[in-house]
């Protein structure tokens, strides 16, 4: 008998028929004598719809209240699953994040799990109940409902698996594993039999939304056996996320990712003197806005331009802040662009190979894709481009850098 944590994503619980399929999967495993904790997302599109509703009222919804709203999507699905299971004759209990005692910090909209008290879960399991926990949510010390950031149900599942010391955490989704790039936009993407925690961390951190990055962090830290697989096809073996091992393919570039969730802000003709960049970026940090890429280019005459990226969700707020700062420091202008995307190539093998960047830039140039910003580390290269070229850039980089090696 095993203790199995399963997580089903939005598409996998998108309608009653699919919830019925999930119920059958879960019932089968339970009947075989296993303990099962199921973590669910909201139905596909529901969280987006709730975000839109709030944004019709204001650009800047109260963050505590927004979390109360967003958490409702998952409440619906856990209840529907348990109603289905009970009607099939299986004992099932739904728990919201706070009922499962998932404690978080109070960073509304991007809360981090700090502790899970598993007593209630263990009691229910000992009574042979199937437990369905609402993903993506917890509560802070004062009892406020918090959410864990988009895609956060993955993290709920892995954290529960770690806290319960589960034998495996299975992430059921609408693709049948982790691929070298998003299979929905690149037909030559290749499914990986296994991937190391570190490479998965990079991929997730740079946009591969098949797993939320914090879920991978938890899995690595607590050695959770993480298995990504298809909710629609049980035959598919999926992808195991594991410690790095010697059998793994050692590719120079192992994956390509993209994200459209950033916006760019540029301040022009900034006085080029100590303390100015600090002033520009401190104001953003003070507003709890996370800056990703930063570049500064020099002009003549003691002036410089500074460009950086922020989450699209914080774009308007960041623009307003910088317009004020520009006045204070005597910069010429502030302008921004929300229609950008960041494409990245990832591979631990890059650190020992030269010419990777040159090859990637050439591939993009051959497709006439202009690179707006670049950032590199030992194991990744990211380029900001115009959003409309995202899919083309992903396919181009994948075919030039990943496919060619294999």
Cα torsion 22, 25, 30, 32 to 10°: value is: 180
Q: Is 360 exposed, middle or buried (0-12, 13-18, 19+ CB in 10 A)?
A: buried
Q: State which of residues 209, 359, 380, 395 lies at the interface with ligand ADP (CB under 6 A).
A: 209
Give me the least distance between CB of 42 and ligand ASP, in Å please: 4
Q: How many helices (H) and strands (E) does the chain have?
A: 12, 20
**Residue 344 in the binding site for ligand ADP (CB under 6 A):** no
User: Smallest gap, in angstroms, from Cβ of residue 45 to Mg ion?
Assistant: 13
| Binding residues among 70-89 for ligand ASP as defined by CB under 6 A | 73
- At 35, phi and psi to the nearest 5? -90, 140
Tokens of 240: 């195991």
182 binds, among Mg ion, ligand ADP, ligand ASP, none (CB under 5 to 8 A by kind): ligand ADP
Q: What is the DSSP track for 89-145?
A: T--EEEE-TTTTTEEE-S-TTS--EEEE--HHHHHHHHTT-EEEEETTEEE-TT--E
Residues 6 or more apart whose CB falls under 8 angstroms from that of 46 comprise 10, 73, 76
Site for Mg ion contains 205 (CB under 5 A)? no
Query: Among Mg ion, ligand ASP, ligand ADP, none, what binds residue 344 when CB lies within 5 to 8 Å by partner kind?
Result: none
The correct pick among 173, 262, 307, 344 for binding ligand ADP (CB under 6 A) is 173
Question: Per CB under 6 A, does 108 bind ligand ASP?
Answer: no
State the pairing for strand pair 3-8/262-271. unpaired
Residues, the chain:
406
- Whole-number minimum distance, CB 255 to ligand ADP, in Å? 6
Which residues ranging from 140 to 199 are in contact with ligand ASP (CB under 6 A)?
150-154
> What's the CA gap between 388 and 341, in Å, rounded?
8
Stretch that binds ligand ADP, among 206-214, 219-227, 268-276, 356-364 (CB under 6 A): 206-214
Residue 14 binds to ligand ASP (criterion: CB under 6 A): no
Nearest CA among 291, 297, 289, 290 for reference residue 268: 297
Per CB under 6 A, contacts with ligand ADP among 13-52 are 41
Between 159 and 321, CB nearer to Mg ion: 159
Contact pattern from residue 129 through residue 158 relative to ligand ADP, giving x for each residue in contact according to CB under 6 A and a dash for the rest: ----------------------x-------
Check binding of 182 to ligand ADP (CB under 6 A).
Answer: yes
DSSP secondary structure letters along 231-277: SS-TT---EEEE---TTS---S--EEEEE--EEEEEEEEEE-STTHH
Under the criterion CB under 6 A, does residue 42 sit at the interface with ligand ASP?
A: yes
> Using CB under 6 A as the criterion, which residues of the chain lie in contact with ligand ADP when the complex forms?
9-12, 41, 151, 173-175, 178-179, 181-184, 203, 208-210
Q: Which residues of the chain form contacts with ligand ASP (CB under 6 A)?
A: 9-10, 41-42, 47, 73, 135-136, 150-154
């Amino acid at each position: 008998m095993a203790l199995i944590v399963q997580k089903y994503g939005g598409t996998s619980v998108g309608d009653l028929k699919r919830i019925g399929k999930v119920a059958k999967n879960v019932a089968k495993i339970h009947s075989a004598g296993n303990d099962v904790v199921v973590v669910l997302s909201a139905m596909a599109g529901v969280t987006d719809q709730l975000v839109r509703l709030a944004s019709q009222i204001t650009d800047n919804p109260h963050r505590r209240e927004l979390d109360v709203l967003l958490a409702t999507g998952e409440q619906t699905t856990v209840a529907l699953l348990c109603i289905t299971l009970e009607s099939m004759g299986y004992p099932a209990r739904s728990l919201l994040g706070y009922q499962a005692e998932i404690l978080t910090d109070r960073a509304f909209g991007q809360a981090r799990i700090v502790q899970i008290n598993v007593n209630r879960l263990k009691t229910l399991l000992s009574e042979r109940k199937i437990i369905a926990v609402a993903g993506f949510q917890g509560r802070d010390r004062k009892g406020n409902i918090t959410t864990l950031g988009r895609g956060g149900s993955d993290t709920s599942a892995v954290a529960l698996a770690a806290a319960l010391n589960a034998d495996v955490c299975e992430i059921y989704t609408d693709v049948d594993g982790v691929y070298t790039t998003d299979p929905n936009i690149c037909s030559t993407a290749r499914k990986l039999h296994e991937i190391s925690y570190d490479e998965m961390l990079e991929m997730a951190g740079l946009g591969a939304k098949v797993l939320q990055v914090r879920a991978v962090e938890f899995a690595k830290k607590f050695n959770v056996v993480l298995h990504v697989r298809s909710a629609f096809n049980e035959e598919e073996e999926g992808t195991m996320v594991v410690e790095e091992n010697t059998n793994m393919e050692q590719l120079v570039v192992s994956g390509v990712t993209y994200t459209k969730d950033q916006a760019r802000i540029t301040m022009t003709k900034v006085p080029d003197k100590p303390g100015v960049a600090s002033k520009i970026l401190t104001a953003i940090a003070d507003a709890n806005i996370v800056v990703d890429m930063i570049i500064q280019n020099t002009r003549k005459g003691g002036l410089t331009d500074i460009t950086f990226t922020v989450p699209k969700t914080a774009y308007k707020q960041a623009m307003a802040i910088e317009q004020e700062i520009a006045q204070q420091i005597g910069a010429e202008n502030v302008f921004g662009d929300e229609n950008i995307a960041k494409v990245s190539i990832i591979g631990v093998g890059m650190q020992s190979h030269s010419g990777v960047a040159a090859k990637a830039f050439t591939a993009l140039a051959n497709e006439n894709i202009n690179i707006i910003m670049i950032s590199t580390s030992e194991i990744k290269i990211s380029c900001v481009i115009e959003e409309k070229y995202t899919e083309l850039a992903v396919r181009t980089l994948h075919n030039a850098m990943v496919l060619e090696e294999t």
